[in-house]
Structure 1
Amino acid sequence: MQFFQNLSIQSRLLLLVIAPVFALSCFFLLFDFQEQLKSDEDKLGQHALTTAKFLSAVVHNQSELHGRPYIERLLKASQLNREPYLSLMIADADKRPLAQLGASFIVNESLPQQDTQVMQQATHDVTMVKIFSNEAKHALLGFVFVAIDKAAMIEDHRQAFIRNIGYITLALMLCSVLVCLVSRSISRPIREMTAALKRFMLGNQHLSQVKNSLPEIHSLQTTINEISREMQHVEADMRHRIQDAQAQLRYQARHDALTGLVNRQELERRLQQALEDVKQHKANHVFCYMDLDQFRVINDTCGHPAGDEMLRQISMILSQRIRAEDTFARLGGDEFGLLLSYCQVEKAIEIAAQLRQMVEAFRFMHEGRLFQTGISIGIVEITADLKDVGQVTRHADAACYVAKDNGRNQIHLFHPEDDVLLKRHVEMEWVLRINEAIEHNDFVLYCQGIFPMQQKELPPFYEILIRKRDENGGIIPPAEFLPSAERYQLMAKIDRWVIQHAFMALQPLFKTQSATKPFIVSINLSGMSLGDPTLLPYIKNCFANYEISPSHVCFEVTETSAIINIDNTIKLITELKTMGTRFMLDDFGSGMSSFSYLKHLPVDFLKMDGAYVKDITINKVDLAMAKAIQSVAESMSIQTIAEYVEDQATLDCLEEMGVAFAQGFYLNRPAPLSEALSRHFASHNSAPKLSTSQAAAVTVISA
C-alpha cells in the first residue's frame, strides 16, 4: 500500500491499466492456443480416420493391390496433400511401404490386434486401417496409415501465439504512450502549479498560467489562482498590520501611555547619547528634572482619573514650548524630564523659567473646582566629568529636591553639595518605611551559624540577623535601612522588635531542647539601646513571657557603642549575666580599640573585626593584629570568634592560632529563621545531639 501511495499519476495509470490488460491478453491467448490446438488435433484425427477408411474401402473393392503407380495415383487422388500436418502411406501385408504422401513417419512393427487403431508416437499420431481382399477368406492385403505431425502443428501454433503476443505488446505500447500523454496532460499542470505555489511561498507573488484543455485542471488552476490572489491581499494586509503593530510597539516602548511623551527608558537612551556627544565632541547639553508641586492633593481630593487628566493637559501645554531637537519625557507619576540639546546653561534656565510660568498660569477645572499648581525644576549641565546617565539623573533629582526645599515652584542649578541634601531626603523616606515595617511586621529574621573550632563539644552559635521585605516580596539587606534608622533614632525600636520576634520564634525550640545539649542564639543590640534605661526590664519581661532560658541567649554589642555607653553597658551586662545571659563584644579592633576596656567589660566572647580576618593569610599586619587580639583574649579567658571566613586557608590559620569559633560564607550562608527552625526540629527529632553539620543546616543568610 505504501508503495502504491508513492507512485505518480502516470505510474498508477500504467500499473492499473496496461499491466492488467497485458496479463489478461496473455492469459486468453494461452487459453485460446490450447483450445485451438486441441480442436485442430480432433479435426485432423477425424479427417485422418475418414481418409484411411476411404482408401481402405477403395482398395478393398479391388481384388488385390495394384502396382506402385496405381497406388501413388490413388494417394494423390485423396487430396491429402492439402493438409500440411497429415502424411499418408499404403503398405503391404508385411508393412512394407508401397506408396507415401507427405512426410515420412515410423510405423510400429508389431501387428495390430484391431482393424482400426490409432498409435501414439512422440511426434505423430498414426491412424492404421487394414485392407482385406474380397475373397471368402478375406486375406490381408495391406495397411493404410495416416499420420498427424503433432510437432509441426504445435510449432505453427506456437509461432502464431508468439506473433499474437507481439501484436498485443505493440498495441499495449501504443496504449502506454497514449496513457503517458494523457497522464502528462494531467500531472504536468499539477507539477507546474505546485512549483508556482512553492515560488509563491518563497515570496514570488506571480502564479504562471498553465494552458490545459481539461476542465477539471482548469477549474483547479482557477481556484488556486483565486486563492493565491486572495493570499496576496491577505499577506499585504497582514504585512501592513504587522508593520503598524511593530511601529505601535516601538512607539509604546519609547513613549508614555498616558501623556504620549517619551518614557524614562527612551530618555535615558538619549541621555547616554548626549553624554557621549559631550565627551567626544564637547557639545553643550542640559538636563532638567521637573516635579509638580502638591500634585498629591489633586489625586487625594478628586481621584486618580482627575490627576491623569491634569497630567495630560500639562504635558500638552509644556510640549508647545519644547524645541524640535529637545526631548520631553514623563519619568513616572508627576515627574518629567527635559533634555535640552545643544543648549547653554543660561538658555536652559531661561527655558525652564518659561515652563515654570506656564505651569503657574495653568488652571485645572474639575467638577466645578479650580486647581492651581506649580513645578519645581532641577537643572544639571551635562559635562564630561559625569560618569554615566545615573549620575546625571541623580544630580538633577538632587537639584529638584533643593528647589522644593527652597519653597517649591523654584528653579535650581545643581551644585556638588546638593547630593548631601538628596541623601538626607532618601533617609527621611526610610524613616517612614521603617516605622511602617515595624507596625506591619515587614521585617524578617534570618540567622547564620558560628561554629566551634577547638572544642567540638562547645554549643553552636546562631547569630540573629534582620532583613526587610519590600512591596514585591523581595528581601532588602540591612545596609539599605539601618544607617537611616541610626541617624533618626529608630534603632531602639528595631532592637525591641528583633528581641520579641526572635523569642517568639525560638520558644517552641527551647521547650524541646532541655534534654539535649544546649545551643546559643546571639541577638545584636545597638548603641541607642545600650543607653535606654527601659531595655533591661523589657528583656526580663520577654524572658518571662516566652519562657526562654537566659543561658541560651547571648547579646552582641559593638565595640564602639559599648565604649561610648561604657557605664550603661557594664550595668546591663552585669544584670543580665546574673540571670545567666552571655555577652559578646562585636567588631573588636574596628573602632576605639583599647585592651584596657576589656578589664571592665565582663564579656564572654570577643568577635574580631572581619577586616583583619579576611586578609589574614596574605597581610602580615592583619595577622599580627589578630594574634594580638587572640593573645589578650586568652589571657582574660575570653573566647574569640572570627568572622568573614571565606576560604579553607583562613580557617586553618585561625584554628592554628587557637581561635575558638568561626563564622563566614565559607562555613555556611544565612537562611530565613523559620526555615532554620524547621530543619532544626527535624534534626532534633532524629538525634539527641545537635552536631556541627546539623547546626550548619539551622543557620540563615542575609539577602
Structure 2
Amino acid sequence: MQFFQNLSIQSRLLLLVIGPVFALSCIFLLFDFKEQLQHEEEKLSQHALTTAKFLSAVIHNQDQLHGKPYIDRLLKASQLNREPYLSLIIADANKQPIANVGAVFTMQDGLLQQDTMVMQQATHDITMVKVFSTTPAHQLLGYVFVSVDKAALIEDHRQAFIKNVGYITLTLILCSILVSWVSRSISQPIRDMTAALKRFVIGSQQVSQVKNTLPEIKSLQSTINQISREMQHVEADMRHRIQDAQAQLRYQARHDALTGLVNRQELERRLQQALQDVKQHRANHVFCYMDLDQFRVINDTCGHLAGDEMLRQISMILSQRIRAEDTFARLGGDEFGLLLSYCQVEKAIEIAAQLRQMVEAFRFMHEGRLFQTGISIGIVEITADLKDVGQITRHADAACYVAKDNGRNQIHLFHNEDDVMLKRHAEMEWVLRINEAIEHNEFVLYCQGIFPLQQKELPPFYEILIRKRDENGGIIPPAEFLPSAERYNLMTKIDRWVIQHAFMALQPLFKLQSSIKPFIVSINLSGMSLGDPQLLPYIKNCFETYEISPGHVCFEITETSAIINIDNTIKLIKELQKMGTRFMLDDFGSGMSSFSYLKHLPVNFLKMDGAYVKDITSNKVDLAMAKAIQSVAQSMEIKTIAEYVEDQATLDCLKEMGVAYAQGFYLNRPMPLNEALARHIGTISQQLQVPVTITPDLAV
C-alpha cells in the first residue's frame, strides 16, 4: 500500500490499466490456445480414425486386390500423404506389414475398443484399427495403423500464439503511450502549479500560468491562482503588521510605558557606550540620578493614578530642557536618569540646577488640591577609572541619597573621599548581599534564653536572633546589615525568612509536644512588617503549614515601630492573641511617649530598655526609671523582662524589684538555634528512650 501511495499519476494509470489488460489478454490467449489445440487434436484424431476405417476395407478385400504391390500402389494413389500423417501401415493378423506409406514403427498392444466390424486403439499420435471378418464371426484379419504428426500441429499453434502475443504487446505499447500522454496532460499542469506555488512561497510573485484544455485542471488552476493572489495580499498585509509589531516591540523594549522616556535597559546600554567613548577617546560625559522628594505622600494620598499622572507631567516638563544629544530615562517609580553627552561637569551642574528649579516651580493639581514637590539629584562624572555601568549608577545613586540627607531638593556631586558616600556605598552593597542571603539561605538563626526570676514554674523564653555567614564561614552580627535592610526596605523579607525558618527548625520539637516542657519562642518583628497587610495571613499560614502551636510563640515589637503603625499593630496583636500568640514590647522606655502609648497596646510582656538595666546598681536615676517601669507594668498586670543582665548584683536587684524574667550574658550567651534544639531534643530522647533527630540545615 505504501508503494502504491508513492506512485505518480502516470505510474498509477500504467499499473492499473496496462498491467491488468496485458495479464488478462495473456490468460485469454492461453486458454484459447489450449482450447483450439485440443479441438484440432480431436479433429485430427477423428480424421485418422476415419482414414483407418476406410483402409480396413483393403484387408477384407486383399485377395481381390492382387497382393501387396497393388496395395502399396493403392496407398500411394490414395493421396493420403497430403494429410498430416507420419505413416500409414496395413498389417496382417500377426502384425506383419502388408503395405505402408511413411515410416515403419514397432507395433504395440494397447487397449481394445470393441466394434461389430472394427476394434481401434489410439496411443499418442498413432491410431490402430483391428479388422475382423463377419464369417466366421470375429476372425482377426489384420490391422490398420495411422500415425498422426501432432508435433507439427502444436508448433503451428505455438507460432500463432506467439504472433498473437506480439500483436497484443504492440497494442498495449500503443495504449501505454496514449495513457502516458493522457496522464501527463493531467499531472504536468499539477506539477507546474506546484512549482509555481513553491516559487510563490519563497517570495516570487509569479503564481501559475499553465495552459491546459482540461476543464477540471482549468478550474483547479483558477482556484489556486485566486488563493495565491489572496495569499500575496495577506502576506503583504502580514509583513506590514509584523514590521509594525517589531517596531513597537523595539520601542517598548527601550522605552517606559508610562512616560514614553527611555527605560533603564536602554539607558544602561547608552551608559556602556559612553564609558567606552571615555576610555577610547577621552570624551566628557556626565550622569545624573534624580529622585522626586515626598512622591510617596502624593501617591498614598491621592492614589496611584494621580501619582502616574504627576510623573507624566514632570517628565514632559523636564524633557523640554533636555538636549537632543542627551538621554533622559525613567528608571522606575519616581526615579529618573539623565546622561549628558559631551558635557563638562560644570555645565552638568548648571543643567541639573535648572531641572531642579523647574520641578520646584511645578504645581500638581488633583481634585482641587495643589501639590508641590522637589527633586534630589546626584551627579557623577564618567571617567576612565570606572569599571562598569554598575559602578556609575551606584555612585550616582549614592550621590542622590546624600542630596536627600542634606535636606532634599539638593544637588550633590560624587567625590571618592566623601565619608557619607562611602557609607551609602557600603549600605547599597549590603542590599545585594542581603537579597542573595535570603535567596541562598545564608542567614543563621541563633537563640538566647530568657529565664524566670520569681516563679520558676513559668515557661522560659528563647529569643530568636539572626546572624549571617561571610564568605569564609564566619558569622556577621546583625548590626552590620540590619541598618541597610531598614534603609532599603528589606526588613519585611528578613522577618518572613526568620519566621519560616524558625518554625521549620521547631517543627520536630512540636511533634513531641506531649513530652516537652512548656517554653516560648520570641521572634522580633520590624516596624515595616507591622505595616504589611499580608503579614497576618502569612503568619497564620506558617502556623498551619508547620503545625506550630500559637501558644508557644511570642512576637517581639519595638516601642518605636509600634507607635509608627499603631492602628495596624493593635489589629495584628488582637488577631494573633485570639489564636493564643503572645506579644512583647521591646526597648520600653527609650521613646518619649512610652507610658501614654502603653495603655493602648495590649501586650503580654514588657522588656525594659537595657540602658536602664545595666547600671541600676550604680545609677540612682536608672534604678528609679526601672522601678517606675516595673510599677506601671505591675499595675497593668504585664510581666516585665530585663535585658543586659551582666552580673549577680544586677540579677539580685531585679529579683528584689519583682521583675519576672531576666536576659543577659551573665545567664547565657546566644548560641545557634539548631544546636540548642539538638541539646533539648537529646534530653527528651533520653527520657523517652526513643531516637529523635533534627536536621541542622532547617535552622539555616
Change (3 A) 1:171 1:102: farther
Aligned-residue CA RMSD (Å)? 5.7
What is the deviation of 1:258?
0.4
Contact 1:85 1:153 (C-alpha < 8 Å) held by counterparts: no
Alpha-carbon displacement from aligned partner over 1:92-149 (angstroms, at most 9, x marks no partner)? 565544544456555447997753233232x42314263869x999997755443333
Q: CA 1:699 to 1:88, structure 2 compared with 1: closer, same or farther past 3 Å?
A: closer
How far off its partner does 1:332 sit? 1.9
CA distance in 2, matches of 1:102, 1:336: 131
Once the two structures are superposed, what CA deviation does each residue of 1:596-652 show, in whole Å capped at 9, x if it has no partner?
xxxxxx6777x9xxxxxxxxxxxxxxxxxxxxxxxxxxxxxxxxx9xxxxxxxxxxx
Change (3 A) 1:377 1:531: closer
Query: Shift of the alpha carbon at 1:300?
Result: 4.1
Aligned residue for 2:377, secondary structure, equals strand
Give the drift of 1:316: 2.0
Deviations 1:157-203 (A, max 9, x none): 33433443344344434444544454455455555555665666666
Shift of residue 60, structure 1, vs aligned partner? 5.4
Partner of 2:53: 53
Tell me: CA distance 1:296–1:102, structure 2 relative to 1, closer, same or farther (3 Å). Answer: same
The 5 A counterparts of 1:107-146 are 107-108=107-108, 115-121=117-123, 123-128=124-129, 130=131, 143-146=143-146
2:326 aligned partner:
326
**Residue 327 of structure 1: how far off its partner (Å):** 0.2
Offset, 1:325: 0.9
Matches within 5 A, 1:392-471: 392-405=392-405, 408-416=408-416, 420=420, 447=445, 464-466=464-466
AA in 2 matched with 1:124 = D
Task: Summarize the Cα distance change of 1:30–1:685 in structure 2 as closer, same or farther, 3 Å threshold.
Answer: farther
Alignment of 1:73-92 (within 5 A): 74-75=74-75, 78-85=78-85, 87-91=87-91
Partners of 1:33 and 1:211 lie apart in 2 by: 49
Q: Does 1:310 find its partner at 2:390?
A: no
State the aligned residue count.
558
1:157 aligns with 2:157: yes
Deviation of 1:410 (Å): 4.1
Closer, same or farther: CA 264–573 of 1 in aligned 2, 3 Å: farther
> Alpha-carbon deviation of 1:14?
3.8
SS at match of 1:283: coil
Deviations 1:432-472 (A, max 9, x none): xxxxxxxxxxxx9963699xxxxxxxxxxx9943389xxxx
Which residue of 1 is the match for residue 689 of structure 2? 688
Q: In the alignment, residue 47 of structure 1 is paired with which amino acid?
A: H
After superposition, give the CA deviation of every residue in 1:41-69 in whole Å (9 maximum; x if it has no partner). 22223323333334445885786123566
Q: Is 1:531 aligned with 2:532? A: no
Change (3 A) 1:299 1:399: same
Aligned equivalents of 2:360, 2:347: Cα separation in 1: 20
Q: Which amino acid aligns with 1:241?
A: R
- Residue 558 of structure 2 corresponds to none
TM-score for both structures, normalised by structure 2: 0.62
Residue correspondence of structure 1 range 553-592 to structure 2 within 5 A: 569-572=647-650
Alignment check: 8 A CA contact 1:378 1:396 kept: yes
Cα distance, 1:306 vs structure 2:
2.6
TM-score, normalising length: structure 1:
0.62
Q: State the one-letter code of the partner of 2:611.
A: G
* Residues in 2 aligned to 1:504 and 1:101: alpha-carbon distance in whole angstroms: 128
**1:38 aligns to what?**
38
1:289 is aligned with what amino acid?
Answer: Y
- Report whether the alignment pairs 1:262 with 2:262: yes
Between the aligned partners of 1:3 and 1:171, the Cα distance in structure 2 is 27
Q: CA deviation at 1:209?
A: 4.8
Distance in 2, Cα, partners of 1:317 & 1:162: 106
1:363-402 superposed matches below 5 A: 363-402=363-402
**Residue equivalent to 2:290:** 290
Q: Alpha carbons of 1:546 and 1:173: their partners in 2 closer, same or farther (altered >3 Å)?
A: farther
Counterpart AA for 1:116: V
Give the 3 Å change call, closer, same or farther, for CA 523–375 of structure 1 in structure 2.
closer
SS for the counterpart of 2:337 is strand
Q: Using the TM superposition, give the Cα deviation of residue 680 of structure 1 relative to its aligned residue in structure 2, in angstroms.
A: 6.2
Matches within 5 A, 1:478-557: 478=478, 481-483=481-483, 509=509, 530-533=610-613
Structure 2 stretches lacking a partner, 5+ long: 431-441, 449-461, 469-475, 525-585, 591-607, 614-624
Q: 2 CA distance for matches of 1:157 and 1:507? A: 107
Q: For residues 99 and 286 of structure 1, do their structure 2 counterparts lie closer, same or farther at Cα, with a shift above 3 Å needed?
A: same
* Structure-2 residue corresponding to 1:634: none
SS in 1 for 2:64: coil
Partner of 2:290: helix, strand, or coil? strand
Match of 2:348 in 1: 348
Amino acid at match of 1:128: V
Q: C-alpha distance in 1, partners of 2:111/2:33? A: 36
Give the distance between the partners of 2:388 and 2:95, measured in 1 at CA: 137
Q: Contact (CA 8 Å) 1:292, 1:335: kept in 2 or not? A: yes
**CA drift at 1:329:** 0.6
**Displacement after TM superposition at 1:420 (Å):** 1.5
* Cα separation, partners in 2 of 1:22 and 1:144, compared to 1, 3 Å: same
> Would the alpha carbon gap of residues 311 and 74 (structure 1) be closer, same or farther in structure 2, given more than 3 Å must change?
same
Structure 1 residues 206 and 575: alpha-carbon distance in aligned structure 2, compared to 1, 3 A threshold: farther
Distance 1:689 1:46, change over 3 A: closer
8 Å Cα contact 1:118-1:125 kept in structure 2: no
1:570 and 1:272 mapped to 2: Cα distance? 63
CA distance in 1, matches of 2:686, 2:218: 85
Alpha carbons of structure 1 residues 484 and 381: separation in structure 2 relative to 1, 3 Å = closer
| Distance in 2, Cα, partners of 1:445 & 1:245 | 46
In structure 2, the CA distance between the partners of 1:301 and 1:86, relative to structure 1 (3 Å rule), is same
Q: Which amino acid aligns with 1:288?
A: C
Q: Are the equivalent residues in 1 in contact too, given 2:445–2:464 (CA < 8 A)?
A: yes
User: In the aligned structure 1, how far is the partner of 2:54 from the partner of 2:268?
Assistant: 131
Q: What secondary structure sits across from 2:121 in the alignment?
A: strand
Residue pair 2:646, 2:664 contacting (<8 A) in 1 also? no
Query: d(CA) in 2 for partners of 1:216 and 1:575?
Result: 113
Cα separation, 2, equivalents of 1:680 and 1:365: 64
Q: Partners of 1:86 and 1:482 in 2: how far apart?
A: 132
Gaps of 5+ in 1: 431-443, 451-461, 469-475, 558-564, 586-601, 608-640, 642-662, 664-669
Distance in 2 between residues matched to 1:506 and 1:101, nearest whole Å: 132
What CA distance in whole angstroms lies between the structure 2 residues aligned with 1:504 and 1:7? 70
Tell me, yes or no, if the aligned pair for 2:395 and 2:425 is still in contact at 8 Å.
no
Q: Could you say what secondary structure the match of 1:64 adopts?
A: coil
Most deviating of 568-577 and 410-419: 568-577
- Return the alpha-carbon distance in structure 1 between the equivalents of residues 370 and 44 of structure 2: 134
Paired letter, 1:119: Q
How many Å separate the matches in 2 of 1:515 and 1:399?
58
Q: Which amino acid aligns with 2:121?
A: M
Partner-residue secondary structure (3-state), 2:689: coil
Q: In structure 2, do the counterparts of structure 1 residues 480 and 242 end up closer, same or farther at CA, with 3 Å as the change threshold?
A: farther
SS across alignment from 2:147: strand
Residue 335 of structure 2 is matched in structure 1 by 335
CA distance in 2 between partners of 1:486 and 1:374 (Å): 24
What is the SS of the residue equivalent to 2:322?
coil
Whole-angstrom distance in 1 between the partners of 2:163 and 2:90: 38
Q: Is the 1:380–1:395 Cα contact (8 Å) retained in structure 2? A: yes
SS of the counterpart of 1:531?
A: helix
